[in-house]
Amino acid sequence: METRVALIGIIVENKDSVEQLNRLLHEYGNAIIGRMGIPYRERGINIISVAIDAPQDTINALSGKIGKLNGISAKTVYSNVGAKI
């Protein structure tokens, strides 16, 4: 199955949703290349980037589920690197 490399940018404004977010990231952990979180204490938010290599449907599903969490925003950027089969 073809996969794509993407980066999901996540902004966490509601700390009460972090447990649900971590559960989702764990669920998709086999496709995640790596992740980095930055607490921005002055603004009371967290900024997270998740690098992923998975079929586009899987990436869209994860990003969509994250975006539905209360107080969490997510946007996805796709690489133009050739798909892996």
Number of structural domains in the chain:
1
What pLDDT, on a 0 to 100 scale, did the predictor assign at position 83? 61
In a domain, 85, yes or no: no
Domain that holds residue 62: 4-78
CA distances from 44 to 12, 19, 27 (A): 9, 17, 26
In a domain, 33, yes or no: yes
Q: Give, to the nearest 10 degrees, the angle between helix 18-27 and helix 56-67.
A: 170
22: domain CATH number?
A: 3.30.70.1150
Q: How many Cα atoms are found within 13 Å in the side-chain-facing hemisphere of 36?
A: 4
pTM (predicted TM-score): 0.90
Q: Name the pLDDT band for 1 (thresholds 50, 70, 90).
A: confident
Nearest to 76 by CA among 57, 84, 85: 57
State pLDDT tens for residues 21-77.
Answer: 999 999 999 999 999 999 999 999 999 999 999 999 999 999 999 999 999 999 999
In a domain, 84, yes or no: no
Question: Which residue has tokens 């199955």?
Answer: 1
